Amino acid sequence: MKVTVFGSGYVGLVQAAVLAEVGHHVICVDVNEQRVEDLNQGIIPIYEPGLTPIVQNNSQAGRLQFTTDAKLAVEHGEVQFIAVGTPSDSNGAADLQYVLTVAKTIAQYMTGDTVVIDKSTVPVGTADKVRDIIAETLAQREVSHQFDVVSNPEFLKEGAAVADCMRPDRIIVGSYDARPHDIIRELYEPFNRIHEKIIFMDVRSAELTKYAANCMLATKISFMNEMANLAELLGADIEAVRRGIGSDPRIGYHFIYPGCGYGGSCFPKDVQALIQTAETEGYRPEMLYAVENVNKRQKDKLPSLVKQHFGADLSGKVFAVWGLSFKPKTDDIREASSRVLIEQLWAAGAIVQAYDPEAMEEMQRAYGVRNDLNLVGTKEAALKAADALIICTEWQPFKAPDFDLIKTQLKQPVIFDGRNLFEPERMQRRGFTYYGIGRGESV
């Protein structure tokens, strides 16, 4: 099939590459000229495991093209994906300007019947807006092409995006009627072979499904963080509690790790957007407010532990920070808890020596060159003459480090572990002062 994808970010680029990989002919269009130029030279703008070879191979095979030419792109596709950003506006609601601009662009250039597939995460009612804009623009053009608007939210996880798109758990398809079902089935046939994964529903339910999924996941995290804080006060160990409750199949082990707060481009923004949607309907979403508030508080957890140990004035202190991305296997630092930590360390006068396997460039881009930020090439280099080590992201190479080396490099053997990577008792035996989340202090 001929497919057009608007947006070449984490969602658009991965979706375009995976569709090309199974044989579709895909044009991916972006307004970011530099990004398109890079992609045309095989330079991949984001870190996502397994993405580079499939982008490069499919580009070489002629099944995947990148352009800034929206007209060319729209004329190409039988289906048009909208996969552009929906960041929070000043109230926390989803900013739909990019989605609606793309809808208008599609209508301006479409030359025949088409199916418009919204993959961006958008509030309930957005498909209606997209449909209205396309209808209006076609009317202005005095053409009468048929079109369908489909809500097909994306559930990929950054860090596993290629695998998730190749083998999705489910494919949610919301439509106004059954007319686009056949073309959607054909499009996704290669991903729907083992068992039926497509779940057809109405557009509003599809739009809400995405928010409900992300808010449920965020709820699990905030719940565990709440329990972790309680465990600390009560002298219990949240790791034991986690294993204890995870063994109940109704709860399960997934997504119940306590930590230093959730971040990323989705959970914080989607929880806020659903709050705004609810408030617009005159409904106060108590649970979502709590999820959000617990997370905000949790992001302060590491900086407060540091200040509890070293005092409020951190001037002259140097901190080694391991992990900047909001989770492992991505370079994405949007809303990462590392940023809240680092900004609070700076505000208290400290210097940060940080290492991340993939997110250093993003960090440099976000904060520029500063005297109090030293981005170093290895996790060991970050330790050099630092007053303590702080772990923000659970990258694999951080899980079994050389503790003797850590001890010799740090000025004092102090570790603040935002991801509970180590056993407090063992850390104590090794001679560290160790702070985990919900595990008490081990000196």
Query: Which residues are identified as catalytic?
Result: 266
Does the CA dihedral 422-380-346-272 come out positive or negative? negative
Binding to ligand NAD by residue 18, rule CB under 6 A? no
Is 209 labeled as ligand-binding? Answer: no
- Candidate residues 98, 191, 223, 310; the one interacting with ligand NAD per rule CB under 6 A: 98
What radius of gyration do the chain's Cα atoms show?
Answer: 24
Cα 25 to Cα 368: distance, rounded to the nearest angstrom: 39
Burial per residue of 295-321, b for 16 or more beta-carbon CB atoms within 10 angstroms, e otherwise: beebbbbbbebbbeebeeebeebbbbb
Which residue, 122 or 392, has its beta carbon nearer to ligand NAD? 122
Cα distance between the two ends of the chain? 62
Which residue, 46 or 352, has its beta carbon nearer to ligand NAD? 46
Starting at the edge strand found earlier in the chain, the sheet holding 441-442 runs: 373-375, 351-355, 318-322, 388-391, 414-417, 433-435, 441-442
Binding to ligand NAD by residue 174, rule CB under 6 A? no
Contact string 50-89 vs ligand NAD (x = CB under 6 A)? ---------------------------------xxxx---
- Candidate residues 3, 7, 275, 352; the one interacting with ligand NAD per rule CB under 6 A: 7
Q: How far is the CB of 417 from ligand NAD (least distance, A)?
A: 25
Cα 245 to Cα 189: distance, rounded to the nearest angstrom: 38
Part of the chain binding ligand NAD (CB under 6 A), chosen from 24-32, 165-173, 233-241, 420-428: 24-32
Which residue, 96 or 306, has its beta carbon nearer to ligand NAD? 96
Q: Are strands 2-6 and 79-82 parallel, antiparallel or unpaired?
A: parallel
Beta carbons within 10 angstroms of residue 396's beta carbon: 9
Please, where are the H alpha helices in 300-432?
301-310, 337-347, 360-367, 379-383, 403-409, 424-429
Binding to ligand NAD by residue 121, rule CB under 6 A? yes
Q: How far is the CB of 366 from ligand NAD (least distance, A)?
A: 14
Which residue, 68 or 433, has its beta carbon nearer to ligand NAD? 68
- Candidate residues 4, 8, 80, 209; the one interacting with ligand NAD per rule CB under 6 A: 8
- Strand ranges, E, within 198-292: 198-201
Cα 188 to Cα 171: distance, rounded to the nearest angstrom: 9
Binding to ligand NAD by residue 102, rule CB under 6 A? yes
Cα 327 to Cα 383: distance, rounded to the nearest angstrom: 21
Q: How far is the CB of 259 from ligand NAD (least distance, A)?
A: 18
Read off the amino acid at residue 271. V
- Candidate residues 3, 10, 147, 437; the one interacting with ligand NAD per rule CB under 6 A: 10
Closest residue to ligand NAD, Cβ-based? 9
Residue that is written with structure tokens 């044989």 in the block: 23
Binding to ligand NAD by residue 420, rule CB under 6 A? no
Is 258 labeled as ligand-binding? Answer: yes
- Candidate residues 30, 207, 335, 417; the one interacting with ligand NAD per rule CB under 6 A: 30
Part of the chain binding ligand NAD (CB under 6 A), chosen from 97-105, 165-173, 404-412, 424-432: 97-105
Which whole-number Å values give the CA distances from 315 to 339, 344, 371, 372, in the listed order? 18, 12, 13, 11
Binding to ligand NAD by residue 31, rule CB under 6 A? yes
Structure tokens given for 380: 């060991």
Is 310 labeled as ligand-binding? Answer: no
Give which of 173, 143, 156 is closest to 79, Cα–Cα.
173
- Candidate residues 19, 44, 208, 266; the one interacting with ligand NAD per rule CB under 6 A: 266
Binding to ligand NAD by residue 35, rule CB under 6 A? yes
Is 245 labeled as ligand-binding? Answer: no
Q: How far is the CB of 157 from ligand NAD (least distance, A)?
A: 7
Binding to ligand NAD by residue 391, rule CB under 6 A? no
**Are the beta carbons of 80 and 2 closer than 8 angstroms?**
no
Binding to ligand NAD by residue 277, rule CB under 6 A? no
Binding to ligand NAD by residue 387, rule CB under 6 A? no
Give which of 298, 296, 289 is closest to 229, Cα–Cα.
298
* Total residues found in the chain within this entry: 443
CA 27 to chain CA centroid, nearest Å: 24
Total number of residues binding ligand NAD (CB under 6 A)? 26
Q: How far is the CB of 121 from ligand NAD (least distance, A)?
A: 4
**Are the beta carbons of 203 and 129 closer than 8 angstroms?**
no
**Are the beta carbons of 396 and 328 closer than 8 angstroms?**
yes
Is 269 labeled as ligand-binding? Answer: yes
- Candidate residues 137, 225, 229, 265; the one interacting with ligand NAD per rule CB under 6 A: 265
Residues that bind ligand NAD (CB under 6 A): 6-12, 29-32, 35, 83-86, 98, 101-102, 120-121, 154, 156, 158, 265-266
Q: Which residues line the annotated binding site for NAD(+)? A: 30, 35, 86, 121, 158, 269, 334
